[in-house]
Structure 1
Amino acid sequence: MQNPGWSLVVHGGSGVIDRADLKPEQDRAYRAVLAQAAEIGATVLRRGGVALDAVETAIHVLEDDPLFNAGRGAVFTADGRVELDAAIMDGATLAAGAVAGVTRVRNPISAARAVMERSPHVLMAGSGADTFAASEGLAEVEPGYFFVERRWRALEKQLTREGVAVPRRPHGVSEDLAQAALAHDEGKRGTVGVVARDARGHVAAGTSTGGTTGKRWGRVGDSPLIGAGTYASDRSAAVSGTGEGEYFIRLSVARQICALVELKGLSLQAAVDEVIHTELTDLGGQGGVIAVAPDGQMAWAFNTSGMYRARIADGHPLEVAIYKDEP
């Protein structure tokens, strides 16, 4: 497929995701939400919308679903809190926005876009970012909104293994929903992201995450760091990553992929393979990326046992996959 009118790729995190780990109903649930996110983003692009809108709209689907480690389904910190990170970038202008450690914003990706479009800054963190999001009229929620039973149990297991005291269970949390009960613990590499190319040839990327289970000391990973977990440029590609953030930061994974395309002339697939299967793997890191180029190329690569993923383009049917042995 060459030069489509538009294209879009989605990921819902990489990690320990083997066929034996997921029950049939979990497999179906994840595929259904990935397909929903891809189709909603594609609808924006079919109607002539811009890549940024497609990215934000598709990520909302993933942030609102308790299956994924972003927004409503985010993992807990060692203190029993949810701290959310997100970033978005416009390949046409190199404008970018990000938030880190927010706790009240329902959709962190929209907070990141507000930083990009309605402030002079690129990255805001903590309570200041929450205050800014509220001042811009973004939807806020009570902390109990983010509670997912399986995520809490994952925290208990993690802290017990580390010999760390488990915090008191939050008060007043709602009963676990059937969908939330299907959430799978993919380890420390859960994130969601979307990249898109619109009919005008512009690309955009967005990433959103709850970080790692049991994180402490205000830890921030690669997702909200422009060039590490998120990057977009019309001169090369749009990239969103998922994996062990410390390694993605050290390698500037997203920007490195774009540099290989722009400066060395690699195809998009060759660039993502080089960074993930050679550079990241050689450093000892695990994870994956999705990417789309201004000419419509779509690519993904991961060195884990699975990555929740989907892609769709003008003239190209929807593909949804989870495991390594799928195309």
Structure 2
Amino acid sequence: MSNWTLAIHGGAGTISRAELTEETRAAHHAGLRAALEAGGAILAAGGSAEDAVVAAVMSLEDCPLYNAGRGGTFTAAGTIEMDAALMRGDSKAGAVTGVTRPRNPILAAREVMRATPHVLLAGAAADEFSQSQGLAMEPPEYFQTAHRRAQLEAAKAARVVALDHDIAAKMGTVGAVARDTSGALAAATSTGGMTNKRAGRVGDSPILGAGTWADGAVAVSCTGTGEAFLRCAAAHEISALIRLGGRSVTQAAEEVALRRVPEAGGQGGLIAVDAAGLAAMPFGTEGMYRGVWRSGSEPETAIH
């Protein structure tokens, strides 16, 4: 049981190969590797899957390249409303939706799990709770970037609610899944949602069973058209296919990402790690920022 695995994603729907500059490519690989190293160092030292996925997601939230924390997308009202969820294989879980001030929304989700009898807190009350727990808070300006502002204006001009790849963007929802040396599993997801979304919209990321899930069989974090992942309970469906359908993690993940999500009217990808430490990272878009690190190997990152 001494082996460990960490997989991460920075969002499905990447910039196209033709438009990706070497500078942008290098920046994304560096951001992904930093997240793998943050989480992998914990697992290599015998730490928990929970701590590893939180550390990896925090690294991605702090990087303005990704649609989570600093660099989150704007709503139609010009605000940034962030969601995050954390779940362990023993069913412990916490989530927040519509937060606007915690520097690291994934830490707010963990505090919900640790300090309350609840699973999900929303909006201003979740911001107030985060501050009461001593988490680092930031003004709205901290999360805003020029790229995201331009993305909002483009979406408004096109009259669309856009995923990252719909309007020549370079960023996406983030997530991490892990199996630690004790065999425990955990999953974490964090996002700013969709550009030009209606204020108050909630996607799949903070909803257990849709965008985030972990149990004794598998840990899953999803990215893409949140409404479609909600409609087919994507993350939990992977567990059901493994536990009840006898599928491998690869078979289950591909079934959901490549068939059931499109059938539900969306597209995207996901990362999953099963109880044996096997990882799957399917996506139905041109690319998905992703990485994996297994004990005894070197960190690997990829875009397309």
Scaled by the length of structure 1, what TM-score is found?
Answer: 0.89
Aligned to 1:317: 298
Aligned to 1:95: 92
Q: In the comparison of the two structures, how many residue pairs are matched?
A: 301
The 1:196–1:60 alpha-carbon spacing in structure 2 relative to 1, beyond 3 Å, is: same
Are 2:247 and 1:295 equivalent residues in the alignment? no
Aligned to 1:22: 20
Residue 316 of structure 1 deviates from its aligned partner by 2.6
The 1:142–1:184 alpha-carbon spacing in structure 2 relative to 1, beyond 3 Å, is: farther
Matching residue's letter, 1:205: A
Say which of 249, 256, 265 aligns to 1:284: 265
The 1:100–1:258 alpha-carbon spacing in structure 2 relative to 1, beyond 3 Å, is: same
Residue 17 of structure 1 deviates from its aligned partner by 2.8
The answer to whether the Cα contact below 8 Å between 1:14 and 1:186 also exists between their aligned partners in 2 is no
The answer to whether the Cα contact below 8 Å between 2:9 and 2:176 also exists between their aligned partners in 1 is yes
Are 2:4 and 1:6 equivalent residues in the alignment? yes
Provide the secondary structure at the position in 1 that maps to 2:299: strand
- CA distance in 2: counterparts of 1:186 and 1:55, whole angstroms: 29
Provide the secondary structure at the position in 2 that maps to 1:8: strand
The answer to whether the Cα contact below 8 Å between 1:4 and 1:313 also exists between their aligned partners in 2 is no
The 1:265–1:4 alpha-carbon spacing in structure 2 relative to 1, beyond 3 Å, is: farther
Structure 1 residues 168-317: aligned runs within 5 Å: 190-234=172-216, 236-317=217-298
Aligned to 2:132: 135
Scaled by the length of structure 2, what TM-score is found?
Answer: 0.95
The answer to whether the Cα contact below 8 Å between 2:15 and 2:170 also exists between their aligned partners in 1 is no
- CA distance in 1: counterparts of 2:278 and 2:42, whole angstroms: 19
Matching residue's letter, 1:146: F
Aligned to 1:173: none
The 1:158–1:213 alpha-carbon spacing in structure 2 relative to 1, beyond 3 Å, is: same
- CA distance in 1: counterparts of 2:171 and 2:256, whole angstroms: 17
Identity %: 51
Give the aligned CA root-mean-square deviation in angstroms: 1.9
Aligned to 1:121: 118
Aligned to 2:149: 152
Gaps in structure 2 of 5+ consecutive residues: none
Residue 49 of structure 1 deviates from its aligned partner by 0.3
Larger Rg computed on CA atoms: 1
Provide the secondary structure at the position in 1 that maps to 2:59: helix
- CA distance in 2: counterparts of 1:110 and 1:102, whole angstroms: 12
Gaps in structure 1 of 5+ consecutive residues: 165-182
- CA distance in 1: counterparts of 2:66 and 2:223, whole angstroms: 12
Aligned to 2:102: 105
Residue 264 of structure 1 deviates from its aligned partner by 1.2
Matching residue's letter, 1:85: D
Provide the secondary structure at the position in 2 that maps to 1:219: coil
- CA distance in 2: counterparts of 1:207 and 1:188, whole angstroms: 18
Matching residue's letter, 2:206: P
Residue 188 of structure 1 deviates from its aligned partner by 11
1:7-29 deviation per Cα after TM superposition (whole angstroms, max 9, x unaligned):
00000001143211211100100
1:174-197 deviation per Cα after TM superposition (whole angstroms, max 9, x unaligned):
xxxxxxxxx996669821000000
The 1:275–1:78 alpha-carbon spacing in structure 2 relative to 1, beyond 3 Å, is: same
Provide the secondary structure at the position in 2 that maps to 1:121: coil
